[in-house]
Amino acid sequence: MVVGHFHSPNVLNIQRSKLIMNGSPKGGDEFSLGAMTAASDPVQYIFGVHNKYGLTWNFPINSCEVK
């Protein structure tokens, strides 16, 4: 399962499945700093899924590091 717009990207193991929490493409902003006192880099996951094996690879893209 993939869910989006969390300010802390993560991949969680839940039973026999994975939960991909994509980060915010914007990263930390006024809301996350004010309401949650938290900020993270703007990260999005790209990943591959196989019919038999499920999630086979994932790679976080941090747009702060893209030149």
Within 10 Å of residue 41's Cβ, how many Cβ atoms? 16
| Confidence class for position 38, pLDDT limits 50, 70, 90 | low
At residue 67, the pLDDT reads 57
Give 41-66 pLDDT, tens digit per residue: 778 889 999 999 888 998 988 887 65
- Tell how strand 17-21 and strand 2-3 pair up: parallel
pTM over 0.85: no
At residue 8, the pLDDT reads 74
Encoded tokens for 30: 């006024």
Contacts made by residues 30-33, CB under 8 angstroms, sequence distance 24+: 32/7
Report which of residues 5 and 53 the model is more confident about.
Answer: 53
Phi-psi region of 21 (alpha: psi -120 to 50; beta: other; left: phi over 0): beta
